[in-house]
Structure 1
Amino acid sequence: MTEKSLIAVWGSPNSGKTVTAVKLAQALAARKQNVLLLCCDALCPSVSTIAPQGAAKHSSLGELLSLPALTQEELLRYALPLDVSPQIALLGYKKGDNVFSYPSYDRERAVDLLTLARHLADVVLVDCASYLSVDPISTVALELADSVIRLHSCDLKSLMFFASYLPLLTDARFRRSTPISVLSNVKPEQDGREYSEVFGGIQVTLPHVAALEQQAASARLLDDCSGKEAAAYNTGIRQIIGLLLPQDLNHPSKPVPASSPTSSGKIADVLQRLWPKRRGEDK
């Protein structure tokens, strides 16, 4: 990857946005990319479902957005590094948060957050809220993203959702990138081909995997997933990566030069150094 990327993962409710975002983050981290996973849905806070052990010491994205000013250092202090995936860090709302937990913020604050995030990681993955009207970050992410992964489900609710929302995205400000359309969580009994024709332009199909469903239910999304079903799913994730990084598919990025003050080494190294400062402990 030659430039820092902002990738938005968006789709209908229950289409697998968080699962897809986590698995993409892991795939990118395996390619030596430092990834910041931004979970911005305050209606359904997901950090505790991704990293339950670290969530206890995680401060909410809502608190960060409520600060008088945003800086790179503050963003790093609020990010949660993952022990099992040291090149991935999380930012998101914590358990118990809701849309009324923190003061509202405007589009300018969302732009500031995403701009700072792009300077701190090779890839910023935004796990968007389905309902854009309740989350400015998701809306701004769809505007500014280098790539948008649009997830569709094989059900009538997903069809109705996109029939309502896609007209809202015809404005020129949302045309910076061409969406990658994905048919997600397709079960054997569902007619994925028919739904692909109805949605149109489907580029990747992600099959339903019982093991993934269990991972999500038990807050173990960071575990590896193996087996025949998982192999087909992992192939789909690699296809998405190929669409995101066609020029880099077979050429993993080189490490960032040590002269870069905010990106050198693994993102977790920087985060771990800042944890004591955040907790008020001695350096």
Structure 2
Amino acid sequence: MSKLTLLCGPPQSGKTAVGIKIAQEIYYHFKGSVIYISADNVTPFMGLVFPNASEKQLFSLGEALEHTSITKENVLRHTVPLPKADNFGFLGYKAGENRYTYSRPTKDKTAEFFEVCKSLADYVFLDCTSSLDDPLSVYGMAAADKAVQLVTPDIRSAAYYASFEKTYEQIKGKSIGVINITDKDLYLPVGEVKAGFANAKYILPYSMYLKQQYITGELTHKIPDQKFSAVCRGIAGAVL
């Protein structure tokens, strides 16, 4: 049975970069088929993850949702495959698109879209918007089987979760807390954050390789960081 897993957290928490690495562990290590969906229509996913791809190689989640009827063929037609891999695809908005490019999908169409995605892959990942107010993220918060909830050890992250506390109550009991270390040069109160973030079971170490992939637009490549990958593999195992 297919599972829907959310990736959620504050802005600049690294959830997209981390989410892709967790999904890759599901695919490469646990041999599960994956569809990775980004709901972000402010910083379009395709422009971030595939900055070096040609226009002909990229498709839009917005176009998939515009169809009168959501079918497997329509979803697959707008899915960008993981390079050199079968049964792993990405759905997201293209560079130049924004929240006004397409009509807002209805609740029924959103549910239909996710049901089709779940029929196509063992694991469906939804990279939620931080505001959690778009149709896909709203649906995901209500329907998720699991959620990977990222927190960074800083004031911004604490302020975000204080603001969205009631919203996150929807995934209480389904959430896997992850502290993501995004800077190696600063003192970060990891211990204090872990004590205050009750479900934080994993700490992702800072990875120079991940930062380099983010800068060069190579997040879909495998990461040569065994320590970082081992933690991602543990999180992936908790998603199963």
Same fold (TM over 0.5): yes
Shift of 1:201: 2.3
Paired residues for 1:26-105 under 5 Å: 26-30=24-28, 31-54=30-53, 56-57=55-56, 58-105=58-105
- Other-structure match for 2:8: 10
Shift of 1:47: 1.8
Shift of 1:219: 0.4
Q: Are 2:211 and 1:213 aligned?
A: yes
Task: Note closer, same or farther for the CA distance 1:177–1:195 as it changes in structure 2 (3 Å cut).
Answer: closer
- Structural RMSD (CA): 1.7
Shift of 1:176: 7.9
Report if aligned partners of 2:147, 2:171 keep a CA contact under 8 Å in 1. no
- Other-structure match for 1:132: 132
* Structure 1: runs of 5 or more not aligned: 246-283
Q: What letter matches 1:65 in structure 2? A: L
Shift of 1:53: 4.6
Report if aligned partners of 1:146, 1:176 keep a CA contact under 8 Å in 2. no
Task: Give the TM-score normalised by structure 2.
Answer: 0.92
In structure 2, C-alpha distance between the alignment counterparts of 1:26 and 1:152, rounded to whole Å = 21
3-state secondary structure, aligned to 1:205: strand
In structure 1, C-alpha distance between the alignment counterparts of 2:94 and 2:5, rounded to whole Å = 22
Q: Are 2:173 and 1:192 aligned?
A: no
In structure 2, C-alpha distance between the alignment counterparts of 1:61 and 1:22, rounded to whole Å = 17
What percent identity do the matched residue pairs reach?
28
In structure 2, C-alpha distance between the alignment counterparts of 1:177 and 1:112, rounded to whole Å = 25
Shift of 1:220: 0.5
Report if aligned partners of 2:40, 2:128 keep a CA contact under 8 Å in 1. yes
Q: What letter matches 1:33 in structure 2? A: G
3-state secondary structure, aligned to 2:199: coil
In structure 1, C-alpha distance between the alignment counterparts of 2:201 and 2:226, rounded to whole Å = 18
- Other-structure match for 1:119: 119
Shift of 1:85: 2.9
Q: What letter matches 1:143 in structure 2? A: A
- Other-structure match for 1:180: 176
Shift of 1:25: 1.7
Paired residues for 1:129-278 under 5 Å: 129-133=129-133, 135-170=134-169, 174-175=170-171, 178-188=174-184, 189-226=187-224, 230-245=225-240
3-state secondary structure, aligned to 2:181: strand
3-state secondary structure, aligned to 1:241: helix
Q: What letter matches 2:163 in structure 1? A: S
* Structure 2: runs of 5 or more not aligned: none
In structure 2, C-alpha distance between the alignment counterparts of 1:54 and 1:88, rounded to whole Å = 17
Task: Note closer, same or farther for the CA distance 1:107–1:177 as it changes in structure 2 (3 Å cut).
Answer: farther
In structure 1, C-alpha distance between the alignment counterparts of 2:90 and 2:54, rounded to whole Å = 10
Report if aligned partners of 1:181, 1:202 keep a CA contact under 8 Å in 2. yes
In structure 2, C-alpha distance between the alignment counterparts of 1:179 and 1:114, rounded to whole Å = 20
